Amino acid sequence: MTSSTNMRLRLPLLCIILEVILIILFGALVEYNDDTHAKLWNANKSHSATRDDYENEFYYRYPSFQDVHVMIFVGFGFLMTFLQRYGFSSVGFNFLIAAFSLQWATLMQGFFHGMHHGKIHVGVTSMINADFCTGSVLISFGAVLGKTSPVQLLVMAIFEVTLFAVNEFILLSMLGANDAGGSMTIHTFGAYFGLMVTRVLYRPNLDKSKHRNSSVYHSDLFAMIGTIYLWMFWPSFNSAITNYGDPQHRTALNTYYSLAACTLATFAFSALVNPEGKLDMVHIQNAALAGGVAVGTAGEMMLTPFGSMIVGFLAGTISVLGYKYLTPVLESKLKIQDTCGIHNLHGMPGVLGAVVGAVTSALASPGVYGDGLQRVFADAETGKWNPQSRGGFQAISLAVTLGMALFGGLVTGFILKLPIYGAPPDTHCFEDGLYWEVPGEEEGHELNEVATPNEMEKLNS
């Protein structure tokens, strides 16, 4: 194979062309919304006697946005630094494709979710939604981690963001689905899209790089930074775009309990499946988060803390078991090489979350929700609300998502297979050195040399 991994022209060209296109489209299509526009906000204010600056949506959404932002850039970025020699790429490419995706997502989501006189309106809510869409791309990144060039990743992001917006439009606008925390739109979609991409990009000789496809002591600690941030801020993630008031508050609370229960399940099963009862960092880093994924749909509903804990416990359990027993089978039988095990963290827990959401929707009743019913189920306002059919639509939404993700991943995978992107050879996967200037030598030697105790003593005398 003559393909070079040199990025000197490919990466700059793609980045610059993409950014120029983005800038042109933003210039033509994007406007400040009513809460960010100097003229519109102040005009609206004077129309309403009681409305004041404190009621700008900024004050009620921005703290959630910042937590989501941390999850996208620190959470995902550092979670993937567990590989011994792929830390620069994990956090660096995560940074690059997230910075691109959030811009592209603003356009795609704006286009599908309703233009205003031909313009896309932006503000803190569009920022959250763009970050959500970006999260989906980063999930897929986890499946192909270490095996793709940054150019491939950007191309994947172009397609995935687009299809994400289409799928989101079908679910939220056409099927009227509930999915505030994105069990379906973000996690299920991102996972199965990524799994299909990595299936198409199957590398039969990947074991030539297997000595690098593992962690070292400190890389696992860096990864725990990502894990802990994802875990802590997941309540903010699931509640970031719910309705104000009780739904947002309740979503955060449900997610908090689900994650706590999930963590105990993760530690329990991680020790149980190991012959010596030793805990596995891979499980702790990943499976402990499955509880957040699994209440992404039902979190805003009256799931109760009790229900949230059961869901979280189940999610942690299936996630650990997936890492232990399913991932090896997926690789050997189905040729799915899933570097981060996204099937266990986002795939199965995402489907679980969709099912829990469908069931919880179907069980909803005015007796439980009172006047709050229509705050959660939008069609309750129209009077056409029927819990069983709502549950049915939720189930259909899951099916649509799986179909869109698998089909989209298939097509995108074949596009990414073209030998023009500078993908790493099988012998050099999971290796920063291909795309990064890596500092020459490790400290060991240097350290003892810099100053002898004698010299030090003199200096300090």
Stretch that binds a copy of itself, among 160-168, 176-184, 236-244, 351-359 (CB under 8 A): 236-244
Closest contact distance (angstroms) between CB of 120 and a copy of itself is 9
Q: Would you say 3 and 417 are in contact if contact means Cβ atoms under 8 Å apart?
A: no
Residues 103-122 that bind a copy of itself (CB under 8 A): 103, 122
Helix 189-200 vs helix 387-416: crossing angle, to nearest 10: 30
Hey, what are 143's tokens?
């499946």
Exactly one of 248, 297, 337, 397 binds a copy of itself (CB under 8 A); that residue is 248
**What type of residue is 203?**
R
Give the whole-angstrom CA distance, residue 369 versus residue 394. Answer: 19
Q: Residue 426 is encoded by which pair of tokens? A: 């099988």
Q: Can you tell me which of 190, 247, 292, 347 binds a copy of itself, judged by CB under 8 A?
A: 247
* 233 interacts with a copy of itself by CB under 8 A: yes
Which residues are within 8 A (CB) of 330 and not within 5 positions of it... i.e. 6 or more apart? Answer: 336, 338, 343
Segment contacting a copy of itself by CB under 8 A, of 71-79, 172-180, 381-389, 410-418: 71-79
| Piece of 181-189, 199-207, 250-258, 337-345 that binds a copy of itself (CB under 8 A) | 250-258
**Residue 273: half-sphere exposure toward Cβ, Cα within 13 Å:** 18
Cβ 192 to a copy of itself, closest distance in Å? 27
Q: Between 146 and 413, whose beta carbon lies closer to a copy of itself?
A: 146
Counting Cα atoms < 13 Å in the Cβ hemisphere of 131 gives 26
In the set 147, 187, 199, 250, which binds a copy of itself (CB under 8 A)?
250
- Given CA atoms 198, 204, 209, 212 in this order, what sign does their dihedral have? positive
SS3 121: strand
CA separation for the pair 352, 178 (Å, rounded): 15
Listed ranges 40-48, 111-119, 327-335, 337-345: which one lies at the site for a copy of itself (CB under 8 A): 40-48
* Binding test (CB under 8 A) with a copy of itself, winner from 128, 261, 290, 336: 261
Using CB under 8 A as the binding rule, whether residue 380 contacts a copy of itself is answered as no
Characterise 122 by phi-psi region: left (phi > 0), alpha (psi -120 to 50), beta (else): beta
CA within 13 Å, CB half, 34: 7
What is the pairing mode between strands 120-122 and 30-32?
parallel
Q: Of the two residues 160 and 220, which places its CB atom closer to a copy of itself in the complex?
A: 220
Stretch that binds a copy of itself, among 72-80, 346-354, 382-390, 400-408 (CB under 8 A): 72-80
Token pair 């399940």: residue: 265
Among 79, 109, 123, 141, indicate the residue that binds a copy of itself (CB under 8 A): 123
Check: CB of residue 183 under 8 Å from CB of residue 350. yes
- Nearer residue to a copy of itself within complex by CB, 226 or 413: 226
Supply the angle between the helices 217-239 and 58-70 in degrees, to the nearest 10: 160
Q: Please, which residues have CB within 8 angstroms of residue 138's CB and are 6 or more apart in sequence? A: 72, 76, 94, 97, 98, 190
Listed residue (138, 166, 168) closest to 153, CA to CA: 138
Of 143-182, binders to a copy of itself (CB under 8 A) are 150
Residues between 415 and 454 that touch a copy of itself (CB under 8 A) = 424-425, 428, 431, 433-439, 441-444, 446-448, 450-451
User: Does 202 help bind a copy of itself (rule: CB under 8 A)?
Assistant: no
Select the residue interacting with a copy of itself from 144, 259, 290, 358 (CB under 8 A).
259
Choosing from 111, 176, 246, 415, the residue that interacts with a copy of itself (CB under 8 A) is: 246
Residues contacting a copy of itself: total by CB under 8 A = 160
Which is nearer to a copy of itself, 48 or 52 (by Cβ)?
A: 52
Give 76 or 192: the residue with its C-beta nearer to a copy of itself. 76
Smallest gap from Cβ 83 to a copy of itself, in A, equals 11
Q: Which of 340, 373, 380, 416 binds a copy of itself (CB under 8 A)?
A: 373
Chosen residue from 200, 268, 362, 396 binding a copy of itself by CB under 8 A: 268
Q: Say whether residue 125 binds a copy of itself (CB under 8 A).
A: no
The least CB distance from residue 105 to a copy of itself, in Å, is 11
Asked if 264 touches a copy of itself (CB under 8 A), the answer is: yes
How far is residue 56's CA from residue 34's CA, in Å, rounded to a whole number?
9
Strand boundaries in 10-101, DSSP class E:
30-32
Residue 287 to residue 30: CA distance in whole angstroms? 39
Residue 56 binds to a copy of itself (criterion: CB under 8 A): yes
Binding pattern for the stretch 286-315 against a copy of itself, x by CB under 8 A and - elsewhere: --x-------------x-xxx--xx--x--
Encoded tokens for 161:
């963001």
Provide the CA 355 distance to its chain's centre, in angstroms. Answer: 19
What Rg do the C-alpha atoms of the chain give, in angstroms? 23
Nearest approach in angstroms of CB 372 to a copy of itself is 3
Contacting range for a copy of itself; rule: CB under 8 A; set: 164-172, 273-281, 324-332, 380-388: 273-281
